Structure 1
C-alpha cells in the first residue's frame, strides 16, 4: 500500500517526467484477484466515509484528469461504488456555459466544492484551463479576460499566473479543511486507439465516441507536454498529484482506492464526542424509550 503511494505521488519539489511513468504497471497484483482486493479496500473506505460525515470538519476533493478513453468514468464508478451517496458528490465538467464564461475560470469549480463531511469527485476540473486551453489557446480568447485580446498576449507570464492561481486556491482549500488529491490517469496512445476501436465496434458504446476524439488525438504530444508542465507547476504538499498507470483498468481502480484509503486514514477522523449535558439527554431519552 505504501509503495503504491510513494511510486505514484508527485508533490512539492518532485521533478515529474512522463517518460518515467509506465502506463501498464500493475505492481505485484494479479487481475484474477483484483475484484476481491478492491472490495476489501472499498469496505474500509466506506467505514471512514461514515466517520468523515459524522465528524463534519473535513472534506475530500478528488480530481480526475486524463486523455479521452483513459477510464475516468469507470474508475469513478468502481472506486466509489461502496460510498453513501448522501455524503458524496460527483461533478462532470463540460464546456463552460455563457454564465460561467462571465466569471473567472475557477468560479464554476469553486461552486461545486464538497461541503464539510463530504467527498467531492470532479471529472475534469479547473485544470482544463491549463491543459486543453494550453493546447488550443484560442479558447482563452472566448473567456473575455481584460488585456488578453490576441494569441500573442497568451504568453509564458499568462500561464505562470494561471498556475499560481491554481496553487493558491488549492492551498486555501487545504488550510480550511478540504484535502485535495489529483489523479492523472496515464494511458498510452496505443491503448487509447484500442479503446476507441472498441467503442466504434460495439453499438452500445457508439455514443461514447466522437469524431472530435480523433482530431484531439493528433495533438497527443502537445497534451503530454501540457500535463507534464501542469503537474510540475501545481504538485504541492497540500495538493499532490498521483500519476496512475491506466492501461490496465483493474489495477487503476486498486491504485486509486488504495490512495483514497490512506488519505482518509491520515485525516485521523473521529466520531463526535458529546459533552456531559448532551450525554445526560441521551441517557434520559433511553430511559423513556425503555418504559414504552
Structure 2
C-alpha cells in the first residue's frame, strides 16, 4: 500500500475536498476483512509487543473526526487486539469546569503514553481549535482578555506543533488520523444508530444538531490539517466512507512507524541467563516429583 497518498506533507496547503471520502483502491471487502486486515493486525501485535518489552519509546495516536466517522470502531477492530498492558485510551468530551481551570493541553496528559505504550486520544487537544471556533465559545472560557484576539488560532496551532515536537524529541512520536466522512454517509450511520436498540443508547442528539454546522467544520478541519501536519507529527486523511479500507490504512501506517522504530526484545545478561536456567531446572524437577 502506498500510504503517503493519505499523508499531508509539511507546509503543503491542501483542499479537504481533494481527499476522497470513498476510496478502496480496488480491494475486495472480503479480502480486506479476512486476509489483509488480520495479517496487518497480527504484524502490529508483534511490533507492539516488542515496543512494550523494550520500554524505550512510546507512540501517541490521535483520532479526530465528525461523529459516526468510525473512530470508536477503529479502536475496536485494530487497537483492541494489542497487549492491554501496553495500551491506553482517553476519550475527550466537553471540557469540565476543572479542565477549564487549566491550560487547554492539560487535560490530555492522562492519555499520554509511557515508554513502551501506545496512547490513543479519541478526540484530542485538537478539539480546542475546532469546537470553540465553530460555536464561538472562547468568551465563555476563563481566559485573560488579552489572549483572545484574531491570532489566537494561529497561536494555538503553533503551540500544538511545539508540544508535539517536544513529545517526538523525547521519544514519543505522534501520528494523527483524520476520518474524512461524507455528509451523506454520516446521515446513514446516524440513522442506523438511532434505529437500532443495541446502538441508540450511545446516540447523542447533538450529533444531529452539529450537522447544521457541517460546512463550518469542514473549513476548520482543512485549516487545522494545513497548519499542523508536520514531519514529526503527520496527519493522515482517511477515506472514512470505506470503513474497512480506512482500518487497513491505519494498521499499515502503524506498522510502518513501528518498523522504523525497530523495537527489540531485551537481551538478558549472562548472569540473568544462568539464574533463569537454574529456575527452569528447579521447576522442571518439581514436575518429576
Bin for the TM-score computed over the shorter chain: over 0.9
Q: Which of 23, 27, 31 is residue 25 of structure 2 equivalent to?
A: 27
**Is the Cα contact below 8 Å between 1:11 and 1:239 reproduced in 2?**
no
The range that moved more, 269-278 or 176-185, is 269-278
Secondary structure at the aligned position of 2:231 is classed as: coil
For the residues of structure 2 that align with 1:262 and 1:283, how far apart are their CA atoms? 36
Q: Which residue of 2 aligns with 1:156?
A: 150
For the residues of structure 2 that align with 1:142 and 1:85, how far apart are their CA atoms? 38
Secondary structure at the aligned position of 1:103 is classed as: coil
Q: Which residue of 2 aligns with 1:46?
A: 45
For the residues of structure 1 that align with 2:218 and 2:101, how far apart are their CA atoms? 29
For the residues of structure 1 that align with 2:209 and 2:80, how far apart are their CA atoms? 33
**Is the Cα contact below 8 Å between 2:11 and 2:227 reproduced in 1?**
no
User: How far off is 1:156 after superposition?
Assistant: 3.1
For the residues of structure 1 that align with 2:281 and 2:120, how far apart are their CA atoms? 43
**Is the Cα contact below 8 Å between 2:177 and 2:238 reproduced in 1?**
yes
For the residues of structure 2 that align with 1:250 and 1:241, how far apart are their CA atoms? 19
For the residues of structure 1 that align with 2:169 and 2:252, how far apart are their CA atoms? 24
1:3-33, Cα deviation, whole Å (9 max, x unpaired): 1x11101131222210110101111311121
Secondary structure at the aligned position of 2:267 is classed as: coil
Q: Which residue of 2 aligns with 1:15?
A: 13
For the residues of structure 2 that align with 1:17 and 1:168, how far apart are their CA atoms? 24
User: How far off is 1:268 after superposition?
Assistant: 1.1
For the residues of structure 1 that align with 2:53 and 2:212, how far apart are their CA atoms? 48
Q: Which residue of 1 aligns with 2:75?
A: 76
1:111-137, Cα deviation, whole Å (9 max, x unpaired): 320111011111000000011112122
TM superposition score normalised by structure 2 = 0.93
Q: Which of 175, 178, 186 is residue 172 of structure 2 equivalent to?
A: 178
Q: Which residue of 2 aligns with 1:221?
A: 215
1:33-92, Cα deviation, whole Å (9 max, x unpaired): 121211111111111111001100010111100001111111110011321111111111
Q: What is the RMSD computed on CA atoms of the aligned residues?
A: 1.7
The range that moved more, 15-24 or 275-284, is 275-284
In structure 2, the gaps of 5 or more residues are none
1:201-252, Cα deviation, whole Å (9 max, x unpaired): 2222222333322221111111011111111111100000000000011111
Task: Say whether 1:212 aligns with 2:210.
Answer: no
For the residues of structure 2 that align with 1:205 and 1:155, how far apart are their CA atoms? 42
Q: Which of 157, 168, 179 is residue 162 of structure 2 equivalent to?
A: 168
TM superposition score normalised by structure 1 = 0.92
**Is the Cα contact below 8 Å between 1:51 and 1:270 reproduced in 2?**
yes
**CA pair 143-277 structure 1, distance change in 2 beyond 3 A:** farther
**CA pair 265-168 structure 1, distance change in 2 beyond 3 A:** same
In structure 1, the gaps of 5 or more residues are none
Secondary structure at the aligned position of 2:266 is classed as: coil
